[in-house]
Amino acid sequence: MDGNSARILLIEDNSGDALLITEMLSEFPGRYEVTRANRFSVAFELLERNGFDLVIMDLNLPDGNGIESMGRIREKSALPVIVMTGFFDERLAARAAAEGAGSFIVKGNVNAVELDATIQKCLKKRGHS
């Protein structure tokens, strides 16, 4: 990837969902470099060692509560976080936003163009070009 690629940490335990997100992002060659963590514990290690531009995270992972884990990510960095879940829950979306999520998406209800637009919006807020 070139130096202009946005480095994304994808936190997702479901291999099928991770593959789907990665394939959607591959529709924009050179724009994104994706690293996957299948557990929050792995994600926290990666965040400490690597310079990411954005986090996309599933809230339901085996080793932690999603909202609390998102809060830990936000405490450690100013990275934009896009939260994704398997279903829309208005209260959960509001809680995620209150904890600092840049956006909230529902798996299966987003296409590559919408995901790209959501990521670009979050990156622009952070000042990434």
Q: How many CA atoms lie within 13 A of 14 on its CB side?
A: 12
pLDDT for position 128: 57
Q: What does the pLDDT read at residue 1? A: 41
CB contact burial 41-63 (16+ within 10 A = b; e otherwise): ebbbebbeeeebbbbbbbbebee
Across the 129 residues of the chain, what is the mean pLDDT of every consecutive 10-residue run?
A: 81 94 96 95 89 91 78 80 83 79 85 96 78
- d(Cα 39, Cα 12) in Å, to the nearest integer? 7
Question: What domains can you pick out in the chain, each with its CATH number?
Answer: 6-126 (3.40.50.2300)
